[in-house]
A and B are shown apart, each in its own frame.
Chain A
Amino acid sequence: MAQLTEEKLAHIADQSRLYIADDEVASLLDDLNDTISYTEKITKIDTDHVKATTNGNQLTNVLREDIPVKWEERDAALEHAPEHDGAHFKVPTIMD
């Protein structure tokens, strides 16, 4: 039975871009592993030759004509950014 280990949880948290406090690790592991164990029962179902359902319905590539629309809310949208200089989003240093 697949289970998360402390090490794998740390990796998952890193990929999820989240920190986990030391005192949360044990209970989070229990909680997640509990759900993972519960979902194990689907492994019993024979899915050979079954196609995966990846969308909510069978529609694929519903295309529309590409019509340019002028959007004049740039300044207002920038105001949502935690930090900006009036033309760009500002973020902490990416490289030294």
Chain B
Amino acid sequence: MSLHKYSINQLEEMLDKKEISAQELTDMSVKQIKAVDNDIQAFLTVTEEEALKNAKAVDEGQATGKSLAGIPVSIKDNIVTKGTRTTCASKMLENFTDPLYDATIVEKLNEAGAVSVGKVNLDEFAMGSTTETSAFQKTKNPWNTDHVPGGSSGGSAASVAAGEVIFSIGSDTGGSIRQPAAFCGVTGMKPTYGLVSRYGLVPMAPSLDQAGPITRTVADNARVLQAIAGHDVNDATSSKQAVPDYSASLKEDVKGLKIAVPKQFMTDMISEEVREAVNNAVKVFESLGVVCEEVDMPNVAYAESAYYIISSAESASAMARYDSVRYGHRAESAESMIDMYKQSRTEGFGKEVKRRIMLGTAMLSGEWNEAYFRKAQKVRTIITNEFKQTLSEYDLILGPTTAQEAFKLNETPDKQVTQMNDRLTTSVNLAGVPGLSVPAGFTKSGLPLGIQLIGNHFDESTVYRAGYTFEQATGYTEKLPTIGGSEQ
């Protein structure tokens, strides 16, 4: 038996019937990590001993009736974990061995009985879309190890796709959950901004950052979001809105729903295979009684530009905390305080992080502040209004998650493709609405593709309902990569 093909619902039933124990589940997870992670390189830290201890507590009844009791999970290494090293895949935090507290998400997972088996790789401080900017290792795509898993939550998506865990928690500032989910053939949700607490999620661009689940199936995803969503007094941007029962609405009929497909998501930059996958999805939905219509969202074409300005400006500010005074890397030969800051940061940060800090600082400086940063914030308002307008006429927006399949490792992706990818995902962060990437087929070369379903603020239920219906109608989630141990 491998973890690959089991859903949380199935595992819960098996645990209830004592067909399997939480310790056996954890053991399977750890064994799979040992078997495949030399190739996949998803994990930065494996917490085997603690995981087995926590699993034992589950078996002894300490999590009876809890929603994720005994389920193995991996956590992106920009989410703080008490007693476990948290690096953000940066040399700056290489020796940050104990953040001394758990992120609220981690607390909630613990309360739900989930068993964390470790921390997974990401682009350094979540800045990137291939997981190659990690200071420590390059994670590989489980479907083809010559390709990247996407990013920045590449370790999360790869660890789920490779059957190392049942689910993972990632974070998404401009597509970092959805894009790797699409590249790795798994399901990733970027929830409404404010639905999931950011307390303990190391900030990249605080007005855009949101954590969410990466799972194999939509039903699993809904269960995990249920466990981590909700108000948190420690996050001043956390919503007080009541969290609905996501699983309950999954099976409701989609007949009569209206889905908009924006022209601006289907430009010439979209590969033929991705276009086909989206068109196929439209046909599937139409066959189920959904009305799908092409719409015009002209301002979405400016999303990636506004995002580059806003996210880098916020990152420049967020990264200012790494001063090598209280924690983090410190250069040895500093002669003065300022020299210490500069040397330590120059040594501790990788190229992409430094690039974004400088870009953001430029965007915030002098006259550029009004011309770029302030302007981009106004454009953000216009983009948000465009989403609200479209979602007042339609229940959902549909598009590709990415313009094409996963990039090859060690190859600089084409700039125009990257910009198109960014448009597809960053627009959703700018508007603060939820976006779900669901597996939607494969390229001829066997790499997975994803479609994105976007809903209104706090309407994750409708997004999940459409995603679940599509998944059940198509069965793309059933196919698994052949990497070590999966039973086809």
Contacts and interface: CB of A to CB of B under 8 A. Distances in A.
B469 interface: no
A20 to B, nearest CB: 8
B380 interface: yes
B237 A57 contact: yes
Count class of interface residues, chain B: 35 or more
Given A19-B342, A59-B237, A80-B327, A38 B305 contact: yes
B207 to A, nearest CB: 4
B382 interface: yes
Contacts of B338: 17
Interface in B332-359: 334-343, 345-346, 349, 354-355, 357-359
A55 B302 CA distance: 19
B163 interface: no
B378 A50 contact: yes
Interface stretch (B52-60, B257-265, B364-372): B364-372
A92 B339 contact: yes
Contacts of A53: 207, 377-378, 380-381, 384, 430
**Chain B contact residues, majority secondary structure:** helix
Interface in B302-317: 302, 305-306, 308-309, 316
Contacts of B192: 57
A15 B355 contact: no
A81 B342 contact: no
Nearest to B323: A17
Interface string A5-22: 000110111011111000
Contact of A57 (B193, B327, B361, B377): B193
B136 to A, nearest CB: 19
B237 A56 contact: yes
A53 B192 CA distance: 16
A65 to B, nearest CB: 9
B291 interface: no
A41 interface: yes
Pick the most buried of B336, B368, B379: most chain A CB atoms within 10 A of its CB.
B379
Contacts of B308: 35, 38-39
Contact of A47 (B100, B357, B382, B419): B382
A47 B306 CA distance: 13
Interface residues of A, number: 49
A81 B207 contact: no
Pick the most buried of A15, A31, A57: most chain B CB atoms within 10 A of its CB.
A57
A26 interface: no
A56 B194 contact: yes
B355 A56 contact: no
B66 interface: no
Q: Give the 9 A-B residue pairs with the shortest CB-CB distance, closest first.
A: A82-B330, A52-B377, A80-B327, A47-B378, A56-B193, A39-B305, A17-B341, A56-B207, A53-B380
Given A12-B365, A59-B239, 16 more contacts: A12-B358, A17-B338, A19-B346, A28-B358, A35-B308, A47-B378, A47-B379, A53-B207, A55-B237, A56-B207, A56-B210, A61-B236, A77-B100, A89-B326, A92-B335, A93-B337
Interface of B: 96-98, 100, 192-194, 206-210, 233, 236-240, 299, 302, 305-306, 308-309, 316, 320, 323-330, 334-343, 345-346, 349, 354-355, 357-359, 361-362, 365, 368, 371-372, 374-382, 384, 419, 430, 432, 457
26 contacts: A11-B365, A12-B361, A15-B365, A16-B358, A18-B346, A18-B357, A28-B358, A36-B362, A38-B308, A40-B305, A41-B302, A47-B375, A52-B378, A53-B207, A56-B206, A56-B208, A56-B237, A57-B192, A64-B233, A76-B98, A80-B98, A81-B325, A91-B337, A92-B336, A92-B337, A94-B336
